[in-house]
Structure 1
């Protein structure tokens, strides 16, 4: 495993972040990753040298299950060996009560204590705004997060998916009021994604330009395009039975399937053949090669099996040439940042 800094901070993290959204997640009545399976995956991550673990208070059924699985696993380990990231802002139950989501001081204060209790720790290394709620004044949210840093409950503040102008407003508000600022962001980034075409209101290039200008660290989620870039899908054939495309075909098609996406996958496969690697490893390496940000761009990789996680971790060691990156960018139609050459 290779290591870098967590964005502009001094915290050292593995260049692959282990994502745990599947922990306790129920799909079609079946738990995708139960606690025994989750602990086996965490064992594998530890063995591979992955020290950066991503979760959220919303992950699992019921919400918080992912954090609980991780906390139970950590009981027999040294907390300081791991960098833990979680999130706040999305609904944490059936929504029938008041203040069950959003970024109000009341909700954040409630949820940070719930998250810390489930994880069995006194603090988080990184706490993300999961989504803006469109209701709470930004100053209320940011002052509350600033207080959590002052109290030692949170080391660094992050922000996940939002528009470039919203991220800019967050940064400006922190600066104008002398508050602890956003240091890390977590947008979806994969080789097929261009200008956030699958997300309303959002423009990936503008968002990343803001990150580059302000020196923010970037931790990319869904770097394998929901599994599309693993190479398990074929044009004009049915999706594998247990895949996300089979479980939610209309949503998967809307998000990931286009002629350009298939062109990108073809290019990723060709590069993988050249390197004697897998498409997943090449897709992750493409993300790792986006080096315009402090610490580089770090992919969040989930996995169903230990073998998948081990395969993904090998991407950190893959040697890819500039020409091979350009071949993928040509299939995309442009590089992630800058002008097409």
Structure 2
């Protein structure tokens, strides 16, 4: 495993982060990753050198299950060797019907949720605490002051921002600087090879401010693993895939991942994978790792130990400039216009 410094922080992390959103999550009454499977995956990630783990207070059924699984696993490991990120924003279902202060980024909710997160993880601090979404109802100054207090109390080391517009990120950074508050050091956008131009402005902000980027869904919900095939040349939303694969289960799959651009990028990724004797998943992850303008640490959410082992293989690859650029160029037609996307 190779390691990198997380943006402008002094924290060193593996080039891949292990995501745990499936831990304890029930889909159709079936738990996607139970406690035993979760610990096996964490063991495998650790054995491969992954020291960076991503979770959130609302992951799992009931909420908090993912954090609890990780906390139990941590009992057998040195806490100082592991970099842990969690998040706050959404209503937490552990209190029954959410009350008026049981969601968002107000001081009361953030204060309550950090205590629960630390207790479930069995730790005194988080290495990284993300706001899970932008809160339209709470002034960003209140959120930043609350988070700054957590940093100064030693409960949080660094702050992160997940899923927001470039202008919102810019506003938050400006408010931090103007008011002498802690600022976001890490971002977590949806970002993959087929989606790149949709967040150009956002990535430009990250590059200018030296913010690390930890993309979620770096394999486009499984689309960029190559397990799906196009079923109709005239309809980019028509596809065939393995029975029970995510594309047939997730209503967002078509809107977020299926497009003319996506298929053409996937074709080029497959071509590069053949040249490198690698898999499309490995090439897709390596393309992110090799971003030049930002430190990019993809979050992989493997379902099985075998999938995780395949993903880790991305660390051992190296793309030539020509291969990297071919994947970028696949997003454009002969006239230089970007292929369309539904979302």
The two structures share one fold, judged by TM-score above 0.5: yes
Report the Cα distance in structure 1 between the residues aligned to 2:312 and 2:62, rounded to whole angstroms. 29
Report the Cα distance in structure 2 between the residues aligned to 1:95 and 1:88, rounded to whole angstroms. 18
RMSD over equivalenced CA pairs, Å: 1.4
| 1:238 aligns to 2:240 (yes or no) | yes
Q: Deviations over 1:268-292 (max 9, x none)?
A: 0010000000000000000001121
Name 2:292's counterpart in structure 1: 291
Name 2:209's counterpart in structure 1: 214
Name 2:336's counterpart in structure 1: none
Name the CA shift for 1:215/1:95 in 2 (closer, same or farther; >3 Å).
farther
So what's the TM-score if we normalise by structure 1?
0.93
Report the Cα distance in structure 2 between the residues aligned to 1:286 and 1:232, rounded to whole angstroms. 18
Deviation at 1:41, TM superposition (A): 0.1
1:133 to 135, 138, 149: 135
Q: Which runs of 4+ in 1 moved over 6 A?
A: none
Report the Cα distance in structure 2 between the residues aligned to 1:4 and 1:195, rounded to whole angstroms. 25
So what's the TM-score if we normalise by structure 2?
0.92
Report the Cα distance in structure 1 between the residues aligned to 2:107 and 2:43, rounded to whole angstroms. 36
Deviation at 1:330, TM superposition (A): 1.1
After TM superposition, the structure 1 = structure 2 runs for residues 105-120 of structure 1, keeping only pairs within 5 Å, are 105-120=107-122
Report the Cα distance in structure 2 between the residues aligned to 1:194 and 1:185, rounded to whole angstroms. 15
Name 1:164's counterpart in structure 2: 166
Name 2:252's counterpart in structure 1: 251
Report the Cα distance in structure 1 between the residues aligned to 2:151 and 2:10, rounded to whole angstroms. 16
Name 2:277's counterpart in structure 1: 276
Q: Deviations over 1:278-319 (max 9, x none)?
A: 0000000000011212xx211000101111111101101102
Name 1:200's counterpart in structure 2: none
Q: Deviations over 1:10-40 (max 9, x none)?
A: 1111010001011111112211101100000
Name 1:187's counterpart in structure 2: 189
Conserved 8 A contact 2:269-2:284: yes
| 1:324 aligns to 2:323 (yes or no) | yes
